[in-house]
A and B are shown apart, each in its own frame.
Chain A
Amino acid sequence: MLLRARDVSKTYSIADQTLQVLRGVDLDLAASETLALTGESGSGKSTLLHLVGGLDVPDAGSIEIEGTDIAGRSDAERAHLRRTDIGVVFQQFNLIPSLTVADNIAFQARLAGSADKEWIAYLGQTLGLEDQLSKYPEQLSGGQQQRVAIGRTLAVRPKLVLADEPTGNLDEASAQTVMDLFLKLVGETRAGLLLVTHSKSLASRLDRNVHLSVGVVS
């Protein structure tokens, strides 16, 4: 099993209030499987995604990636995992503004020390960014920027791709194009995909759907 989460709980305290976002979530994802995580705002979708990505740690429960629990790992070990095995595509494009498109796409692969020039060139081509490579993010449209972010994530050939409403900031037309490209490329890399979305139509294009409601799988 690529991902195996058991009884995951997470509580946040904001000001004086405590908010239990996840209350014992179980989740499995097989290699190359694509899974849509749906649910209303505040259902805990994004939090679960962050925990799986090692960006945060659960209060209770275990999250195993290929059989290893990441919850108990150190910051550096989790960082290593993010660098090499897990790719995250955020809702905001989170590009590095002072690097060119080409450098942004290659960035994570270079961090991981696994930059494959041909693969990166192919990604740029497939994502329709050939003419934008020497531009800076601020010179691109939103759809183009998200394509750069997708390219950056897939450049590492991660085993697991996490995406949090990757098209949430885009208009419908470009969202459609970007998502088509994204799913095509994830399929090509044979990576497992955990996609957070509130779009039912998008969710229906994936292998499996899990609905989160008030912190539990329903």
Chain B
Amino acid sequence: MNVRLLLFLLIWPTSIWAQGFAGLGTDAEGFSVPERGYVFDFPADHGAHPDYRIEWWYLTANMQDAEGRDYGLQWTLFRSALIPDEIDGQIFMGHAAVTTPDDHYVTERLARGSLGHAGVTAEPFEAWIDEWQMVGDMEVLSLKAGSDEFSYELELRNEGPLIFHGDAGYSVKSAEGQASHYYSLPYLALSGTLALPEGEVEVTGEAWLDREWSSQPLSDTQTGWDWFSLSFESGDKMMGFALRQTDGSVYTYATWIALEGETQAYPDGALSATPLETSQTSGAEVPTKWRVELPDRGVDVEVQAINPNAWMTTSVPYWEGPVTISGSHKGRGYLEMTGYE
């Protein structure tokens, strides 16, 4: 067994995709727990919350080159606390990926907070691990990551409002009430350069930044999740997830983001996501074509992976990649699937 992988199962006991490894550290002893009615405070809340067990800065993007070829991109910094509030107890994990219709490049970094080669500061905003970084003032951000195979250097410009999910940023994840604080910046315009093995590519597109922190995000009976961020040609956007439970049922949630930035939260049951096709990836077999329905908004779409083999061969593996949308609405988006391995 891969040494790194084992390390990870230990470090991320409460991370969402480790739920399959039942019951590890599900108590929130010593850590703060998300509360309904929390009042966000920016720019401080763009930074780290070391009193919570886990947190992430999660950016995905759909991009095209000059010829209109599709690309997907991921830049993620995870924070996990072994001990609340102490810098010694903070561990960071960075994931970066670029997906083309034919290839999927993945890389990963690890760091502890105490040495200083990874961290997050709110003002000025900077999230970094090694030479990777997301830095700027939340209106303009520069983004960088890479490996021995690929790298990218991009500029992001915020063109819309900040969106809160759930009840004003209090996002419930199960019937038992597990929750996280969750907001997004879904209106990031992106431009820059991807350096891939086949050469450099100039790209433009749209990015979506998710910010989420919690101490106890999933219940024991939840085995994984399927998460969608969809941008329709109409200008509307939707974030939705379905948490799969051991009894075969799902717990769903959706945020509808209208063109003007107004949001509506849909509780459990409003959204449905049905797998239509599965693909054998370099990791597990996962659904790569979905039917996603939100009848209240007239949404009945097929979501199709641009590259079915967007398997993240990281310490804790999962699937993350760009998708195209067809049906009642057209557009592009990102799909994340965990708990299939």
Q: Do chains A and B touch in the complex (CB under 8 A)?
A: no
Q: Give B residues with C-beta under 8 Å from A.
A: none
Q: Give A residues with C-beta under 8 Å from B.
A: none
